[in-house]
Structure 1
Amino acid sequence: MSTLSPIICREYTLRFEKTLIMGILNVTPDSFSDGGLFNDVDAAVAHGKKMVSDGADLIDVGGESTRPGAAPLSEKEEIARILPVITQLLDEVSLPISIDTYKPLVADACLKAGAHLINDITGMINPEMRKVVAKYKVPVILMHMRGTPKTMQENPTYLDLLGEITVFFRKQITKVQKEGIQQIIIDPGLGLEKR
């Protein structure tokens, strides 16, 4: 059995001797998982702190809904939603903060503020995202998803689900490694457009 290498998230290290728990903090009014309960700063930070006390090993903060059919936000809107939450969480909790975004300006603003890693639902298909992550030398979570949240349910069938996901990850891992990004976590996106 092989051992997974630790992931260095700035001042934190994620070790995989046990299953790690990622707390999901959706700062959105239209989230499919929490009904938009945490779309103001105080409620979001309080929920983030509760996840820490409940045993989360890291917190993933997102400002754009990934529910099927969701319309994208502008980068400015997404930054306005999540940056105040991230800034306060960085002051109040002692664990890695992940940013759920596929937008370069959002990633840059959050990493500049001190966030620890990027969770990109598009698998870093945007070359500008790869440049931002490489600039800050942080880990990335590559997720597999066809299309965008708005379009992902248009063709959710696969001839060879695992084969297609494997090809996607090999291609994207090669691209991010060419940018100098070596700390990579993959997420097959099981909850998104897989039937």
Structure 2
Amino acid sequence: MAASKEKKGFLSGSLLTHIVNLRRRMAHDMENSTGNLLWIASAKIKGENTSDLAGLVAQVRKAISRVDGDFIKELRDEDEGKTLISGMIRDIGDEASKDGVEHFGFSSWCKLGFYEADFGWGKPVWVSSFGVENSVFMNLIILVDTQAGDGIEAWVTLDEQDMAILERDEELLHLAMFDPSPLTTSNSFLP
């Protein structure tokens, strides 16, 4: 949002969506199912309030907390489920298509056990999202546990101008490192 303000000269509205894993919220065993079971929680903030990061975080938490057992029951009902799904898609699409609104998508891959997977070659040294240069997914942030389990990596996809602004953000530089090597973030990587 700071990059948007620096680029445009004003605070624009933002829509933040976060993927919610439905499997963890379901009461019954999902042993015989495959594929992704997810929901998209969203929060929006108008341009004049964009500096209120705490308010945006509270909205996201509230949206995620609504995805509970009662919500899952509604979603499983064929008619109510279709209504909920189509309503969610319509609302996010309507909000994201408004002039001046920037959409930021989040997904957390934390605590999914990626570093425990062993397909015969040993456990992974480094887990990443997709690592494709010139990705079609812009304004996407994927959170992943570090291999040592003592931190979180944020895989951020922005256009070049926004990324350059982000990399200069003093507040963020006090909290995070940009492009750390996976070979130096933990002694467990060394032979």
Larger radius of gyration: 2
Normalising by structure 2, what TM-score?
A: 0.29
Normalising by structure 1, what TM-score?
A: 0.29
